[in-house]
Amino acid sequence: MVNGPTGVDTDEQAALEAARGRALVEESREVVVVLDDARNVVAASRRARASIQGLRVGEPLPPSATRGRTPLEVAYRVGDREESLVYLSEPSENIAFEELRAGFTAAVSHELRTPLARLLALLESAVLPGADTQELVGRARDEVTHVGELIDDVLFLSELETGRQVVGLGSTAVLPVLHEAAEELARSADRADVRVEVSGDADAQVPLRPRMLRVVAENLAANAIRYAGPGATLRLSVTSDVDAVVLEAADDGVGVDEADLPRLFERFYRADRARASRGTGLGLAIVKHVVTTAGGTVVAVGAPGEGLRITCRFPNS
């Protein structure tokens, strides 16, 4: 028996690595095949087998495999064997990704221009004779804060979508986090003249890490505080039954036009009445991404003068 550097038998280690390699290829979301030095198929991912007609182990890659696809080949050596990993991306996937990336980049650029333009105007005004420098600098500081919040939200959403931020590990009690969110945003609520109430099932839990649940709760509360209007009441609540745990943010404020409801969770989308707001336009997009990644659903219901209710529903495990 020969042990490797980790103290594990080398045969066992080789078998382990081989098993890992097979699993990586098999479960890859990519259309990927492994070819030997004779260009015959050695292995293929489940997606490759489903999408390439005539694909068979031990035979050459069918000509249809590269039709309409862009191949990326990575050669490697295992002992005295030469093999290649061939990734076959779907052109539609590349186009969709490029369109999404271009659209997101354009939206971020547009959203950054507005506060930066205001900041430049404030700084230029501050040097004019008779200017109220202290007041203008204070407003400029607010613009810098807004830019920082926008960048933070963009980076956070990017990390969520690339999987660098893990959404669900274990479960978290909801009610204490709702109280924390209300306390964290109490000053903002006071300034906006919005009352925040918290209630619900003390035992209810959702399949989210504590940080992710805080992100959801704070973004739901901040959205209502920012847009519900003076004199409104926001009710943050959690209920549970056999089938689901429901986290809800309901306000009795100015409401939302029916045409705006389907778009509330889009990045940077704001209803007409909210376009002058200093929000980043990403809060509800982040909420939707976190909730759906954890296996839940999120919907918005409301009407002008009847407030807005956002409901996050998580299946009960």
What is the number of structural domains in the chain?
Answer: 3
Task: Give the pLDDT score at 274.
Answer: 44
- Give the three-state DSSP class for 134: helix
Which one of 162, 193, 220 terminates a domain? 162
Q: Are residues 149 and 180 in the same domain?
A: no
Q: 136: which 2 tokens?
A: 């203008």
Residues 128 and 106 in one domain: yes
> What does the pLDDT read at residue 307?
92
Got the DSSP string for 62-90? PGGGGTT-EEEEEEEEETTEEEEEEEEE-
Please give the pLDDT value at position 114.
65
What pLDDT sits at residue 154? 64
The 10s digit of each residue's pLDDT in 180-194 is: 999 989 998 999 999
Q: Are residues 194 and 276 in the same domain?
A: yes
Closest CA to 277 of 241, 224, 200, 212: 224
Whole-number pLDDT of residue 276: 43
Q: Which domain holds residue 120?
A: 92-162
CATH code, 204: 3.30.565.10
Residue position matching structure tokens 């390439």: 52
DSSP SS3 for 40: strand
Query: Do 256 and 184 sit in the same domain of this protein?
Result: yes
Pick from 262, 252, 263: nearest CA to 229 = 252
Judgement on whether residues 126 and 105 belong to the same structural domain of the protein: yes
CB 175 within 8 A of CB 236: no
Question: 161 in helix, strand or coil?
Answer: helix
Q: Which residues pair with 308 in a beta bridge?
A: 251, 302
Same-domain status, 157 and 253: no
Closest CA to 39 of 67, 2, 66: 66
pLDDT of residue 258: 83
Whichever domain contains 157, its CATH number is 1.10.287.130
Burial state string for 221-259 with b = 16 or more CB within 10 A and e = fewer than 16? bbbbbbbbbeebebbbbbebeeebbbbbbbbbbbbbeee
- Report pLDDT for 91: 52
Residue numbers in the chain where pLDDT is lower than 70 = 1-11, 14, 29, 89-115, 146, 149-169, 267-281, 317
C-alpha to C-alpha distance for 260 and 237, rounded to whole angstroms: 24
User: What ranges in the chain are assigned the alpha helix state H?
Assistant: 10-26, 46-51, 91-126, 133-162, 174-184, 186-192, 210-227, 283-293
Q: pTM for this structure?
A: 0.52
Residues 271 and 288 in one domain: yes
- Looking up tokens 């095949």, which residue turns up? 33
The pLDDT of residue 246: 94
